[in-house]
Amino acid sequence: MKYYLAIDIGASSGRHILCSIQNNQICLEEIYRFQNYVELKNNHYYWNIDYLLKEVVAGIKECVKQDKIPVTLGIDTWAVDYVLLDNNGQRIDEVYAYRDQRVDDFIQPDQFQKLYMKTGIQYQKFNTIYQLASDDTVRKTRAVDFLMVPDYLNYLLTGKKVNEYTNMSTTQLLDIQTDTLSKELLDFCQTDEKIFQTMVMPGTSLGSLSLDMQKIIGTDIEVIVPATHDTGSAYMAAIEENSVILSSGTWSLLGIETTKPIVTLESMKANFTNEGGYHHRYRFLKNIMGLWIIQEVSRNFGRKYSFAELVELARQEQFEGIFDVNDERFLKPASMILEIKQYFEERNETPPQTAGEIAYCVYHSLAHCYKKAIEELESITHQTYSTINIIGGGCQNQLLNEMIAKVTRKKVIVGPIEATALGNILAQLIQQKVVKDLRAGRELIKESFEMKEYKGELYESKISRSKNNL
């Protein structure tokens, strides 16, 4: 049996997902899981990158322990964050998290339009370009190498330094016309072009683990660079052509897949972005705050309720008010519950009170935000989309799926759940010539996993030939 390993690291957790092909279908097995979180030190938020490497290695060793050694592995993570190395190949400092507030003072509204037209990337205050621009001059002076988080983990595994294209496209440092680094943009953030690596496309092989890493793990495995931006991998696993794609997780990424970027004043005002995808595709999408909000609500309740319990409470206690989930006040508030309540109080509206009302309010607000984003998308593209394909872990929330179908009045196809891991694995399977191309890979996903269809408040299950969901 041949195995292929996707190491999928999100903002709140990471998983090692093993893939095998059995009876012409994809079979997935979660082999290892670990938590991820930001750490507050000296009034700044950081990622514990040493801990992440330790967990990455632990999950690979678990595969070896179970005698399920993968032929290849690939790592994907969130976007925009980066690591700077000195001339000894050592990390200069801590790895800042995108929710850190160091960029708050670096706001230049007069630059937004110019940057958007140059890059096609939406404004987010934590975009890499703003992080670099606000970065400490001493750090930048010492920097010899720039690696994004998955690039850095690959470097620690193989000793090889590359910058992967789909993640680099999120930095707002690439010229949208050439998909190469822009000297003008690097000058804007006072960063030397020499610190960047050769940019590679998803499906590039980095070859073997380093000799030191082989000794630690106990075997050799070929490392393949997937779409290292998790949304880039997730969109590879979307199964409905010509549909709106909603990758639902900590963040919600709503948009379409295109072969050409869309860079207009209308798309800029609606804050849509053009991120690079597999095989020179683009993800024309909008970032929406997503299930981060309910994750924080759960944390504020001391994790008294599971996410499933919050859904059931929401069904019992409806609350019709909605709030703007994209308001920056919800990016990293001290208390999400208090922030939501204050939002309504500031407008002289009655806020949600109980756990059920708060949860319902969050889901309902997300559904309305998706509706607005789809209306903007249809206006920009001059097309009407009849179907929404919801992918990722968030698509397990049946109540939210029902709300989306009801509010948008569109057909909702749900699945696959493990879209990011599947996209990661598809890049490996294509590189290994197990699967011919992306189209064939998507057909294989359709054959392998259960999908559900929602219409209005009701849904009917449309089961494909197998049920290999985790």
**Quick one: three-class SS letters along 231-272?**
HHHHHHCCCCCCCEEEEECCCEEEEEEECCCCCCHHHHHCCC
pLDDT at 464: 38
For 49, 89, 212, the CA distances from 160, given in Å and listed in that order, are: 17, 11, 13
Residue 350: which domain range?
Answer: 238-417+436-470
Question: Alpha-carbon distance 376 to 335, whole Å?
Answer: 31
| Measured distance CA(13)–CA(331) in Å, rounded | 18
Do 214 and 296 share a domain, yes or no? no
- 426 close to 441: Cβ distance less than 8 angstroms: yes
Q: How far apart are CA 61 and CA 351, in angstroms?
A: 49
Look at residue 145 and tell me if it is in a domain.
yes
Tokens of 278: 């597999």
Q: Is 384 helix (H, G, I), strand (E, B) or coil?
A: coil
**Which helix (H) or strand (E) segment is 163 a member of?**
strand 163-164
Q: Do residues 52 and 25 both lie within one domain?
A: yes
Q: Is residue 69 a part of any domain in this protein? A: yes
CA of 97: how far to CAs of 206, 232, 293, in Å? 26, 20, 17
3-state secondary structure of 140: helix
The pLDDT value recorded for residue 107 is: 63
pLDDT tens for the 470 residues of the chain, in order: 999 999 999 988 999 999 999 999 999 999 999 999 999 999 999 999 999 999 999 999 999 999 999 999 999 999 999 999 999 999 999 999 998 888 887 766 678 899 999 999 998 889 999 999 988 888 889 999 999 999 999 999 999 999 999 999 999 999 999 999 999 999 999 999 999 999 999 999 999 999 999 999 999 999 999 999 999 999 999 998 889 999 999 899 999 999 999 999 999 999 999 999 999 899 999 999 999 999 999 999 999 999 999 999 999 998 989 999 999 999 989 999 999 999 999 999 999 999 999 999 999 999 999 999 999 999 999 999 999 999 999 999 999 999 999 999 999 999 999 999 999 999 999 999 999 999 999 999 999 998 999 975 443 333 333 344 44
d(CA 400, CA 367): 7
Q: Does residue 343 share a domain with residue 377?
A: yes
**Distance in angstroms (rounded) separating the CA atoms of residues 245 and 413:** 10
**For residue 349, what pLDDT is reported?**
97
What amino acid is encoded at 312 in this protein?
A: E
Provide the domain count of the chain.
2
Closest CA to 4 of 16, 20, 24: 20
Please check whether residues 209 and 116 belong to one and the same domain.
yes
* CATH number, domain containing residue 271: 3.30.420.40
| pLDDT for residue 280 | 87
DSSP structural state of residue 77: B
Q: What's the DSSP call for residue 194?
A: G
**How many whole angstroms separate alpha carbon 306 and alpha carbon 14?**
19
220 and 259 both lie in a single domain: no
Tell which of 212, 229, 246 closes a domain: 229
Same domain (yes/no): 190, 161: yes
Domain finish residue from 169, 201, 229? 229
Q: How many helices and strands (H and E) does the chain possess? A: 17, 23
Residue 430: inside a domain? no
pLDDT (0 to 100) of residue 105: 73
Q: 400 and 452 in contact (C-beta within 8 Å)? A: no
224 and 266 assigned to the same domain: no
| Catalytic residue numbers, as ranges | 230
Question: What is the greatest pairwise CA distance in the chain?
Answer: 64
| pTM attached to this predicted model | 0.90
Under 8 Å between Cβ of 254 and 290: no
In a domain, 177, yes or no: yes
Residues 279 and 225 reside in one and the same domain: no
Q: How far apart are CA 115 and CA 274, in angstroms?
A: 13
| Residues 381, 412 within the same domain | yes
